[in-house]
């Protein structure tokens, strides 16, 4: 060891540092369910169920804003651009948010929380806000509500060239002059209903043209010139929006997109498209469509073809189960008849598989696991199991379904095969829960050489309604059911030999379970089985059932154990983390963190980095925790970025691949100690330095050394160039 290393290894002064990434979040959502769009000079803005999406018309690129970029909510309902090019967005919870595009900052207004915002319309220095109780006038120059006209449930609002406000309501069309001195007075408003000529009183929009008003309802569309009403059209369909383009007028109906020139006959354009939510036309006369569950589309000029923009995002916002494969890809199972399926995330891009895109037999997937050959097994509700083989240059998919014959359909429908969970044991056998199986074989097992074995309710499994599976250290299968608590299958390590099986064991409320509806079971590193029910958290150890309180919400969806034996519990009301010491709790929800949604359904852990992937019913959050799995040695020690530029408060120099009981010291070239991270402060294999000294001040530019030592006497070192602009 050289003199420098001898010197710094003898330094024993203690200095504090914040440890390893606590509080860093990212959000991943699907934003194809577009509710409204708005267009300014260069951008198409989309309000979606997965956040705010901006499509740049010049660069032909898109940007997504979610809660981790400043939104208060990702579930957006309405959008508008004001005269200052600020973007106003309304959420389903009633939050009104304003984005300054140049700074990327959001202002949040909570004046309408508790009400339902359905539309925003910018007019001068005002925004008219359609609410479930009426229409509100909001002064954007003073950032305040001027007044609210309680005229009933409103859907859309618009102002015509004569400064007449028109409001589409659930009980007709209501209109008034903005010059009227008191719009709070009922006499200021004129109401038109079915009696006057509307095809329905449930009016969805009013669109002014040069000669008339186009009024869309849930049962057709009509023109009104201020005096006379045309005959209703499309009376078998809802008509949700209209827009004027270079080639005439466009009309969005539940039967597709229609077009007319010079007031002639309507004709449908392109493919059958029943879920158009909004139509806008940009300055180049391109017609843009917001399409529910399919995303942003436009009509290719000189054709009638719809072209869709395909963002790089997960298949769905419903995350049911997640797992990392052996090469670091994250696989996601999503339920849902229309928007579900399987997604794969390689850390940069998403690859999706579904019935919708023709790659799977179902969109409703419940669970995923990875076998010893790195094949991904995905359990579906109704279509058996899909197996993704990654051994070749392309992913090939095979199916365990009715044609395969190994799994059983439900009673009365042999082709409808319900599989609710799938796991792999230490021998590489794959275990599948075949819920509601008509032949009562609710647990199936297949070996790596394709031998099958089955376990049934006749043999002792307590219910047909099996929903979650765990395999403990001894190879016992713990099966959580919807209605009978837990069944245990003990095959004594010989699944192909039935003679030594024991299916008599199990747990119910008489044994201490909070509830018979068992949603999740997980074994920790100490051999404790943790059980999540709809009424609370239980644990089992040494033949005894205990109860744990202090979970953020008792309605538990999932339980998972990370690399350092922490217990993560996902609930309907957020998530709780119980430390390995089984004493310390930490709780996360949308009220105290950037968690994307409170209904937490699944977890996956990157053991090397400590990242926790948190699936919910409205997107996925990634939390940078300090709980990375310690390395076996310091041989792969690394630090980055290098150079380390201190240009903002969030800059961090990461030191990774730390071994157990590591301690970090940072020194100047002259050997002066700058900062120390003790082993007690390092919770895993990763830590960071924020570029500050022991007094909390940013250090000067220069070259610094970092030295890592362990309790076993191992050491590793590196250097970093620090630049302080």
pLDDT for 661 equals: 85
Cis peptide before 280 (omega within 30 of 0): no
Statement: residue 3 has pLDDT above 70: no
**Cβ distance 505 to 460 under 8 Å?**
no
Q: 146 vs 4, 111, 183, 468, 645, CA distance in Å?
A: 70, 11, 12, 54, 48
pLDDT for 21 equals: 40
pLDDT for 517 equals: 98
Average pLDDT in the 415-432 region? 97
Say whether 242 sits in a helix, a strand or coil: strand
pLDDT band at 511 (very low <50, low <70, confident <90, very high): very high
Exposure letters 633-649 (e unless 16+ CB within 10 A, then b): ebeebebeeeebebeee
The 8-class DSSP code of residue 247 comes to T
pLDDT for 23 equals: 53
**Cβ distance 223 to 264 under 8 Å?**
no
Residues in the chain: 725
Q: 130 vs 137, 158, 224, CA distance in Å?
A: 9, 10, 22
Statement: residue 578 has pLDDT above 90: yes
The residues near 607 (Cβ < 8 Å, ≥ 6 apart) are 562, 563, 628, 629
Task: Tell me the pLDDT tens digit for each residue of 57-68.
Answer: 999 999 999 999
Tell me the C-alpha distance between 262 and 378, whole Å.
Answer: 54
**Cβ distance 323 to 331 under 8 Å?**
yes
501 alpha-carbon distance from chain centroid: 42
Tell me the C-alpha distance between 505 and 280, whole Å.
Answer: 63
Strands (E), 150-219: 154-159, 164-169, 172-177, 190-192, 203-208, 213-217
130 alpha-carbon distance from chain centroid: 28
pLDDT for 54 equals: 96
Say whether 6 sits in a helix, a strand or coil: helix
Query: The whole model's pTM is what?
Result: 0.86
Of 287, 175, 152, 155, the C-alpha closest to 224 is 175
Task: Tell me the pLDDT tens digit for each residue of 405-419.
Answer: 999 999 989 999 999
Mean pLDDT, the chain, whole residue set: 92
pLDDT band at 111 (very low <50, low <70, confident <90, very high): very high
Q: Tokens 């849902």: give the residue.
A: 336
Statement: residue 10 has pLDDT above 80: no
Task: Tell me the pLDDT tens digit for each residue of 27-53.
Answer: 999 999 999 999 999 999 999 999 999
Phi, psi of 660 (to 5 degrees): -60, 140
Statement: residue 449 has pLDDT above 90: yes
Task: Tell me the pLDDT tens digit for each residue of 265-318.
Answer: 899 988 888 889 999 999 988 999 999 888 999 998 777 888 999 889 999 999
DSSP for 600-655? EEEEEE-TTT-EEEEEETTEEEEEE-S-PPPBSSSTT-EEESSSEE--STT--EEE
Average pLDDT in the 433-452 region? 97
Task: Tell me the pLDDT tens digit for each residue of 589-641.
Answer: 999 999 999 999 999 999 888 899 999 999 999 999 888 888 888 888 989 99
**Cβ distance 596 to 631 under 8 Å?**
no
Of 674, 670, 672, 667, the C-alpha closest to 717 is 667
Q: 555 vs 204, 231, 524, 549, 653, CA distance in Å?
A: 38, 54, 21, 12, 40
277 alpha-carbon distance from chain centroid: 22
Q: Which domains does the chain have, with CATH numbers?
A: 3-20+632-723 (2.60.40.1930)
Count other C-beta atoms under 10 Å from residue 88's C-beta. Answer: 25
Task: Tell me the pLDDT tens digit for each residue of 670-701.
Answer: 888 999 888 888 878 888 888 988 888 889 99
Q: Tokens 């009696």: give the residue.
A: 195
298 forms bridges with which residues in the sheet?
Answer: 288, 307
Long-range contacts of 102-109 (CB under 8 A, 24+ apart): 104/69, 104/70, 105/70, 106/65, 106/70, 106/71, 106/72, 107/143, 108/72, 109/143
Task: Tell me the pLDDT tens digit for each residue of 75-97.
Answer: 999 999 999 999 999 999 999 99
């Amino acid at each position: 060891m050289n003199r420098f290393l001898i010197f710094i290894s003898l330094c024993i002064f203690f200095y504090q540092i914040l440890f390893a990434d606590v509080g860093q979040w990212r959000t991943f959502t699907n934003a194809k369910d577009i509710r409204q769009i708005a267009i300014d000079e260069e951008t198409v803005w989309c309000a979606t169920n997965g956040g705010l999406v901006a499509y740049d018309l010049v660069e032909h690129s898109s940007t997504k804003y979610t809660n981790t970029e400043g939104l208060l909510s990702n579930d957006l309902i309405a959008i508008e651009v004001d005269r200052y090019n600020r973007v106003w967005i309304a959420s389903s919870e009633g939050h009104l948010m304003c984005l300054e595009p140049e700074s990327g900052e959001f202002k949040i207004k909570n004046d309408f929380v508790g009400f339902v915002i359905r539309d925003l319309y910018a007019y001068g220095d005002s925004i008219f806000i359609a609410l479930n109780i009426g229409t509100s006038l909001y002064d954007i120059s003073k950032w305040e509500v001027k007044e609210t006209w309680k005229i009933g449930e409103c859907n859309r609002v618009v102002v015509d060239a004569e400064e007449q406000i028109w409001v589409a309501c659930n009980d007709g069309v209501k209109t008034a002059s903005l010059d009227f001195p008191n719009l709070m007075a009922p006499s200021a408003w004129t109401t038109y209903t079915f009696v006057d000529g509307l095809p329905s009183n449930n009016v969805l929009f009013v669109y002014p043209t040069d000669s008339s008003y186009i009024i869309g309802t849930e049962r057709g569309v009509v023109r009104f010139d201020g005096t006379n009403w045309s005959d209703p059209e499309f009376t078998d369909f809802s008509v949700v929006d209209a827009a004027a383009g270079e080639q005439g007028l466009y009309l969005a109906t539940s039967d597709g997109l229609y077009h007319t020139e010079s007031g002639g006959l309507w004709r449908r354009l392109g493919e059958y498209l029943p879920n158009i939510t909004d139509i806008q036309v940009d300055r180049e006369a391109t017609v843009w469509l917001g399409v529910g569950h399919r995303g942003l589309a436009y009509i290719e000029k000189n054709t009638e073809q719809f072209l869709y923009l395909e963002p790089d995002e997960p298949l769905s916002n419903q995350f049911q189960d997640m797992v990392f494969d052996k090469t670091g890809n994250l696989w996601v199972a999503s339920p849902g008849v229309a928007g579900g399926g399987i997604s794969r995330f390689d850390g940069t891009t998403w690859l999706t598989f579904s019935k919708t895109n023709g790659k799977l037999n179902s969109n409703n997937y419940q669970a995923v696991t990875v076998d010893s050959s790195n094949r991904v097994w995905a359990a579906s509700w109704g279509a058996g199991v899909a197996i993704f083989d990654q051994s070749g240059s392309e992913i090939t998919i095979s199916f365990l379904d009715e044609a395969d014959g190994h799994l059983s359909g439900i009673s009365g429908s042999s082709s409808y095969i319900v599989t609710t969970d799938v796991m792999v044991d230490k021998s590489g056998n794959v275990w599948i829960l075949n819920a509601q199986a008509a032949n009562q074989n609710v647990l199936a097992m297949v070996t790596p050489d394709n031998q099958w074995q089955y376990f049934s309710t006749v043999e002792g499994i307590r219910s047909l309604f099996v929903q979650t599976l765990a395999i403990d250290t001894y190879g016992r299968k713990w099966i959580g059911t919807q209605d009978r608590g837990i069944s245990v299958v003990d095959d004594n390590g010989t699944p192909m030999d039935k003679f030594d099986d024991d299916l008599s064991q199990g747990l119910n409320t008489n044994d201490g379970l909070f509830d018979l509806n068992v949603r999740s079971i997980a074994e920790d590193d100490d051999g404790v089985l943790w059980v999540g029910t709809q009424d609370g958290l239980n644990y089992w150890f040494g033949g005894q059932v205990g109860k744990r309180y202090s979970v953020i919400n008792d309605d538990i969806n999932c339980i998972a154990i990370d690399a350092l034996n922490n217990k993560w519990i996902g609930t309907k009301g957020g998530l709780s983390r119980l430390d390995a010491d089984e004493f310390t709790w930490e709780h996360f929800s949308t009220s105290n963190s950037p968690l994307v949604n409170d209904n937490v359904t699944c977890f996956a852990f990157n053991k090397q980095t400590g990242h926790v992937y948190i699936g919910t019913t409205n997107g996925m959050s990634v939390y940078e925790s300090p709980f990375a799995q310690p390395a076996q040695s310091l041989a792969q020690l690394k630090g980055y970025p290098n150079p380390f530029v201190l240009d903002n408060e969030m800059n961090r120099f990461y030191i990774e691949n730390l071994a157990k009981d590591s301690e970090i010291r940072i020194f100047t070239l002259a050997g002066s100690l700058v900062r120390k991270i003790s082993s007690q402060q390092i919770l895993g294999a990763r830590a960071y330095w924020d570029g500050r000294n022991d007094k909390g001040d940013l250090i000067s530019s220069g070259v610094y050394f970092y030295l890592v030592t362990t309790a076993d006497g191992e050491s590793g070192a590196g250097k970093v160039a620090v630049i302080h602009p």
